[in-house]
Amino acid sequence: MTGRGDDRGMSVRVKKKRGVKASSRRWLERQLNDPYVRRAKTDGYRSRAAYKLIEIDDRYKLLKPGQAVVDLGAAPGGWSQVAVERTGSTADAVGVVGIDYLAVEPVAGATILEMDFLDDEAPQKLLDTLGRQPQIVLSDMAAPTTGHRRTDHLRTMHLCEVAADFAIRTLRPGGHFLSKTFQGGTENDLLTLLKQNFAAVHHVKPPASRGGSVELFILAKGFKGRGPGTADAEMSDADEHDDDEAGPLG
């Protein structure tokens, strides 16, 4: 990855100010001292989250030139930027379509829909815009936090399940699905569904995920297809990798 630089000796402290919560001050200090935040600015990515996809893709070789990609929960656009770079999507031949209910600044080479993926018409709108079946479905969706850990977990798991359902209904055989989840939070029913429909399922925690975060990603590789004669997963020897720290599933 580019733009790494030397981050030694660059620690920044934020002075205490009346009326500013300690938690807000700690968050600002973490942002200012985060090497991925600085690298994102240098490399022109919308957020540090871009490096999570970069690191996962460097390891598992998901994104390839000419592929069609759907990016669920695209804001602020970092994952779409990476997908465009690695698939070669252009304004004349768009292969990356994202969606988010938040407004996203235009991403060159991608089309971003401003609508809620949970709206009934959203899945078909994505497919119509893409114009073909996707080979990759990405989801960095997370529910807005309420402060109640169990509630937040259930809401984000629901988004992961909805994303997985979309992937199974739309992916081309051999395609891949990558979604945000939480450590210890991928429910058995979802894991069973993914194992039934994909050649391999992994839990991955890329280095760009903060060490203290419960964030985790579930990667399902080699979609088997939706009917007889479509189960050719088109897997290559390069697709067989050991898992990251979380270890393999099943």
Residues forming the annotated binding site for S-adenosyl-L-methionine? 77, 79, 100, 116, 140
Dihedral (CA of 162, 206, 148, 142) sign: negative
Among 17, 64, 180, 205, the active-site one is: 180
Considering only the C-alpha atoms of the chain, give the largest distance between any 2 of them, rounded to a whole number of Å: 67
What is d(CA 199, CA 176) in angstroms, rounded to the nearest whole number?
10
> Cα angle at 168 between 224 and 217, to 5 degrees?
95
Using only the alpha carbons of the chain, give its radius of gyration: 18
**CB atoms closer than 10 angstroms to residue 8:** 6
Query: Encoding tokens for residue 5?
Result: 């630089």
| CA 33 – CA 19 distance, rounded (Å) | 23
CA nearest 99: which of 114, 119, 89, 81?
Answer: 114
Residues 6+ positions from 249 with CB-CB distance below 8 Å? 191, 195, 201, 202, 203, 243
Cα–Cα distance, 113 to 103 (Å, whole number): 9
Helix (H) or strand (E) holding 153: helix 149-170
Q: Is 21 a catalytic residue?
A: no
Which residues form the catalytic set? 180
